[in-house]
């Protein structure tokens, strides 16, 4: 059911917010909708194996469920560990990648990236990755997108820097994530707890079935 819910949200985002894509130029398919669709599909498949295995009391399906869930759990641990070990390198790479993405802003076939930057700069009241001068390299002149303006108006990005947001978007979004770190941590712990319970129950049922088979044998 959880997998169905995640998949449904992903499909809804893809249909209604299809123009909101990733900010990354290196991973253009790494959007929120695609991630949710992939996650929901995997959760549904793994959950289906466990559910049918428990209902039918099929130890092979339960074992498959256990192995797949264990692999997913270990991969999550590896990803989280690597993230904390290489935080500085990830930060530098992310900023470089985002700056490359700025050059795709407003170009043909990149409406998703364009809309994403416009929404972020408007909602977070920021401009550019490190600062508003990042846009100077994109336009080859002293101007920024209109979404950087303190008061939006047509071609306001051509005005003086005093009319633009000064905050860097990367740091602003990073601060926002840190402020909501508790919610993210609780969600992560709940997810890990559900996975551990799934592994425990699957292995318990598998062992009971194996003992039953041995007894009747």
Helical (H) or strand (E) element with 148? none
pLDDT of residue 148: 95
Q: Give the separation between CA 208 and CA 10, rounded to whole angstroms.
A: 38
DSSP result, 53-117? HHHHT-HHHHHHHHHHHHHHHHHHHHHHHHHHHTHHHHHHHHHHHHHHHHTTTT-TT-HHHHHHH
Whether residue 126 contacts residue 172, with contact meaning beta carbons closer than 8 Å, is answered with: yes
Task: HSE, CB side, 13 Å, CA atoms: give it for residue 125.
Answer: 4
Tens digit of each residue's pLDDT (9 = 90 or more) over 163-193: 999 999 999 999 988 888 888 888 888 888 8
CB environment 135-173: b (16+ within 10 A), e (fewer)? beebbeeebbbbbbbeeeeeebbebeeeebbebbbbebe
Q: Of the candidates 170, 121, 123, which has an alpha carbon nearest to the alpha carbon of residue 144?
A: 121
From first to last of the 217 residues of the chain, give the pLDDT tens digit. Answer: 777 877 777 777 677 655 555 666 666 666 667 777 888 888 888 888 888 888 888 888 888 889 998 998 999 899 889 988 998 898 899 899 899 889 989 888 777 788 889 989 999 999 999 999 999 999 988 999 999 999 888 889 898 888 999 999 999 999 988 888 888 888 888 888 888 988 898 888 888 887 776 665 5
Q: Give the separation between CA 143 and CA 135, rounded to whole angstroms.
A: 7
pLDDT of residue 215: 60
Whether residue 69 contacts residue 40, with contact meaning beta carbons closer than 8 Å, is answered with: no
Tens digit of each residue's pLDDT (9 = 90 or more) over 106-123: 888 777 788 889 989 999
């Amino acid at each position: 059911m959880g997998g169905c819910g995640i998949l449904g949200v992903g499909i809804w985002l893809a249909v209604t917010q299809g123009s909101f894509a990733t900010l990354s130029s290196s991973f253009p398919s790494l959007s929120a909708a695609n991630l949710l669709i992939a996650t929901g599909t995997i959760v549904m498949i793994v959950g289906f194996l466990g559910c049918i295995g428990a209902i039918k009391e099929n130890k092979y399906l339960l074992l498959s469920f256990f192995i797949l869930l264990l692999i997913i759990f270990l991969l999550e641990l590896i990803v989280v560990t690597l993230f904390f070990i290489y935080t500085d390198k990830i930060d530098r790479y992310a900023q470089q990648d985002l700056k490359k993405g700025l050059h795709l802003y407003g170009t043909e076939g990149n409406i998703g990236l364009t809309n994403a930057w416009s929404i972020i700069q408007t909602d977070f009241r920021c401009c550019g990755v490190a600062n508003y001068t990042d846009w100077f390299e994109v336009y080859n002149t002293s101007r920024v997108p209109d979404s950087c303006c303190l008061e939006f108006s047509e071609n306001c990005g051509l005005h003086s820097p005093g009319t633009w947001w000064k905050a860097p978007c990367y740091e602003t979004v990073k601060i926002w994530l840190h402020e909501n770190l508790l919610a993210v941590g609780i969600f992560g712990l709940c997810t890990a707890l559900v996975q551990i319970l799934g592994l425990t129950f699957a292995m318990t049922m598998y062992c009971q079935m194996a003992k039953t088979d041995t007894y009747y044998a």
